[in-house]
Amino acid sequence: MLSFRTSTGTVGASASVRELAKRINMQPPISLHALIAGHEIEELYNKSRGILTVGSPRGPVQRIGNGDFEQRYTFGSIIKPLDKPARIGDETAVSIEIAAVRCFGTDDPSGHDEPYLITTVYAVSTKLGELNPQTTRFGPDEFGEVTGHLGENNIFAQGRQLAHDFPVPGDSDIRIHVQLWESEHGNPEDIKQKVSKAAGTAASTAVGELGPIGNTVAILAEVLGLLDTIGDAIGGVIGGIFGDDLIGVKDFVVPNDYLQKLVADPNSLTRRSDSIPSETFNFPQQPEDDSWLFSNGHASYRVFFRIKIV
């Protein structure tokens, strides 16, 4: 007897079309081609851990203009041509850049700092590969001496790109780890390389440790723990570095609901701040409180970001 395997079990061809449609999130009337397409799309979604690549389903499997079948998801699609295997269709990616950094007070008694930033953008996704994580250093030479005094060189690093074409990890989050240093006697590039190596090793291990496909809540909870592990690995490296003054460390979480809003209406998230009057930013979205301030008791800085769909 002809049968089809679905996420809820194997059913025979004698089962009603309406019941089959219900099991694969489709609405009747439904053709045999559509039924097979839905089955292959579901198989690819499970095999590729679709919850971490294209996200959750958004509506039924539908036939599109060229005759292929398509399943839309939060951040992309899966396509099933009639005569070829199912494949990932479009996916959502972002670019992340610094809108500006504002200095409110310096670390050095002279009133001038020579700051630099080391940033790591990371996520857990089976599609990211070598793109995950992306570690970059900015400064100190390109910034020169920075002061906290109004009207002087207190706003810098405008438009520095942290990551480009970084895939959105399905229904999970993206994290931006930022370290702000004051240059003294250390080696900024050596610090950057150590951070990059630690983050890359931890991220590779995290992807390898992903368990079998379970329900959405379970796999996203597992990813949350793995993201914490990557952040801890970066922090462990920083703790053993001497020679430069660490002004502060922040691990910014770009939540999935923010990414969904960015896809739906990017301009709705754009903001301005009196701290950087000539620039716009869209992340973070919270008020400018102490939790968003890099400070070591003497120096204080704030980093503003722009995140764009690419």
One domain, residues 63 and 99: no
Query: Using CA atoms, how far apart are residues 6 and 119, in angstroms rounded to an integer?
Result: 43
Cα torsion angle, 122, 123, 127, 129, sign: positive
Cα torsion angle, 147, 149, 151, 157, sign: positive
One domain, residues 98 and 87: no
**Two structure tokens written together for 166:** 């970084």
One domain, residues 44 and 155: no
Q: Give the pLDDT score at 207.
A: 74
**Two structure tokens written together for 32:** 């045999």
One domain, residues 168 and 281: yes
Boundary of a domain, candidates 91, 116, 145: 91
Task: For residue 24, give its domain range.
Answer: 3-91
* Ranges in the chain, pLDDT < 50: 1-15, 28, 128-131
Q: Give the pLDDT score at 157.
A: 96
Q: What CATH number should be reported for the domain holding residue 292?
A: 2.60.40.150
Domain count, the chain: 2
Query: Using CA atoms, how far apart are residues 87 and 77, in angstroms rounded to an integer?
Result: 9
One domain, residues 268 and 198: yes
Q: Give the pLDDT score at 10.
A: 45
Amino acid in position 112: H
Query: Using CA atoms, how far apart are residues 119 and 133, in angstroms rounded to an integer?
Result: 10
Which distant-in-sequence residues (6+ apart) come within 8 Å of 214 by Cβ?
Answer: none
Angle between helices 188-208 and 216-238 (to 10 degrees): 150
Query: Using CA atoms, how far apart are residues 64 and 78, in angstroms rounded to an integer?
Result: 12
Q: Give the pLDDT score at 280.
A: 97
Query: Using CA atoms, how far apart are residues 186 and 175, in angstroms rounded to an integer?
Result: 26
Instruction: Please state the pTM of the whole predicted model.
Output: 0.83
One domain, residues 148 and 284: yes
**Two structure tokens written together for 191:** 């610090």
Nearest to 100 by CA among 299, 249, 280: 280
**Are 181 and 191 a contacting pair, CB within 8 Å?**
yes
Amino acid in position 275: S
One domain, residues 126 and 192: yes
Boundary of a domain, candidates 91, 117, 141: 91
One domain, residues 130 and 234: yes
Q: Give the pLDDT score at 166.
A: 92
**Are 181 and 113 a contacting pair, CB within 8 Å?**
no
Query: Using CA atoms, how far apart are residues 130 and 122, in angstroms rounded to an integer?
Result: 11
Burial track 251-282 (b if 16+ CB lie within 10 A, e otherwise): bbebebebbeebeeeeeebeeeeebbeebebb
Boundary of a domain, candidates 61, 91, 121: 91
One domain, residues 86 and 187: no
Q: Give the pLDDT score at 35.
A: 86
Query: Using CA atoms, how far apart are residues 123 and 223, in angstroms rounded to an integer?
Result: 9
The pLDDT tens digits for 34-73 are 888 999 999 998 888 888 889 999 988 999 988 899 999 9
Q: Give the pLDDT score at 95.
A: 96
